[in-house]
Structure 1
């Protein structure tokens, strides 16, 4: 059964970041562009949400960061998925799928107009 904290936005952001990093190393701005592109513009992560999630993932050893010089003066921080990050991503995907399934079941049940028979009405 999915944990209630799977509803937290942070878990979803972490899942999206880790999903992209499972395919390639990226720098922060590149991650935000890919998330927006892959979601067809439906998901946009401002810096205030993206970077705290990246720092948390680094602090927890799920991803690593490396400064790379690009050009004469520009340095970018690239993020790389660690093996522990792959395990955590799989856990997040399982929780997300379970939660999504539960929500979809509720929506389907209420869409059909069926009365829930297992729950006693209190009012």
Structure 2
């Protein structure tokens, strides 16, 4: 696992919830939006995405429903629930706090 993967692993929940705060989405759609919005720097393989989606659903932060697309194709869409929205806000606050702390440590000059 490289350094980028280490940082990404802890951010997948937050990124997924942020996307779902905008609209109901299906898994592949989320992976493509993350690639597009991240300029290709962050890629979340489906093998990492779906366990995260299942975990968030088990905790009641998101729900899922099946939708027929065309004549035969079905997609599972995910929807952000209200307690998931509150959890997202906590994750964002914690992310900013940790990020500021890291910046302070990196910029610290001992006299």
TM-score (norm 2): 0.90
Q: Which residue of 1 aligns with 2:66?
A: 67
Q: 2 CA distance for matches of 1:19 and 1:53?
A: 13
Shift of 1:9: 4.9
Q: 1 CA distance for matches of 2:90 and 2:103?
A: 20
Where structure 2 has 5 or more consecutive residues not aligned to the other structure, the ranges are 1-5
Q: Which residue of 2 aligns with 1:115?
A: 110
Listed as ranges, the matches of 1:41-56 within 5 Å are: 41-56=40-55
Q: How big is the alpha-carbon RMSD for the aligned residues of Structure 1 and Structure 2?
A: 1.5
Where structure 1 has 5 or more consecutive residues not aligned to the other structure, the ranges are 1-6, 117-123
Q: Which residue of 2 aligns with 1:40?
A: 39
1:80 aligns to what SS in structure 2? Answer: strand
Q: How many residues align?
A: 106
Q: 1:43 to 1:8 in 2, by over 3 A?
A: closer
Shift of 1:10: 4.6
Q: 1 CA distance for matches of 2:84 and 2:77?
A: 15
Q: Which residue of 1 aligns with 2:26?
A: 27
Q: 2 CA distance for matches of 1:108 and 1:39?
A: 25
Decide whether the 8 Å contact of 2:8 with 2:42 is kept in 1. Answer: no
Larger Rg: 1
Shift of 1:11: 3.9
2:11 aligns to what SS in structure 1? Answer: helix
Q: 1 CA distance for matches of 2:90 and 2:50?
A: 22
